[in-house]
Amino acid sequence: MRKILTATGLVSSAAALGLLLASPAAAATGKSQFDVVLPGQKPQTTYYVENVGALSGTMTGKSAVYWQIVGDQVIDGSKRFTSFKITTRIEERLTKTTEDHVVTKKTCDLTEMVNDHYSWSADDPANTCVAPPTIYDGELWWSSDSTIVYDIEGDGKGLITQELQGSPLIHG
């Protein structure tokens, strides 16, 4: 009986130690939407972006882009964008109110995808940009953020920058 109690005690102690040493798991999502009005008879489109900062041993950041045409018909099906890129960033702060510092980032080119599809609502690697993960420091405040830079075909305005809502802060 004593061996059983000792073994049980060791297993319980090991499990408790594992829980104490395990990194906390947390995820936070920021959501944005914006409309793009295209020249001529091209369809106006609403874009939705979810920025997810997640902690599971390391800090990760990803941005998923979805879109839907506003009207129900496409009259002009020609090329809409000469460029459509999203940059996803993992950011840290020393305190809750100080400025962000970019730790890692990645730029993903979605030009071909947004030109080839008038709408996209699926969760898929093709519409998701993932920044390289980084080592998590619980003393800092963390978030995932992104920016889309696009150039509309034929409007003569050049690059347009769309700042997006970052994820809420993760700390502790």
Three-state SS string over the chain comes to CHHHHHHHHHHHHHHHHHHHHCCCEEEEEEEEEEEECCCCCCCCEEEEEEEEEEEECEEEEEEEEEEEECCCCCCCCCCCEEEEEEEEEEEEECCCCCCCEEEEEEEEECHHHHHHCCCECCCCHHHEEEEEEEECCCCCEEEEEEEEEEEECCCCCCEEEEECCCCCCEEC
Q: Residue 35 sits in which domain range?
A: 24-171
4 part of a folded domain: no
Calculate the average pLDDT of the chain: 87
In a domain, 153, yes or no: yes
pLDDT category at 25 given cuts 50, 70, 90 is low
Tell me how many domains the chain contains: 1
Residue 16 included in any domain: no
Single pTM value for the model: 0.83
Whether 131 is in a domain gets the answer yes
pLDDT tens-digit readout, 96-145: 999 999 999 999 999 999 999 999 999 999 999 999 999 999 999 999 99
CATH number at residue 41: 2.60.40
Whether pLDDT at 17 is above 70? no
In a domain, 96, yes or no: yes
Q: For residue 5, tell me if it sits in a domain.
A: no
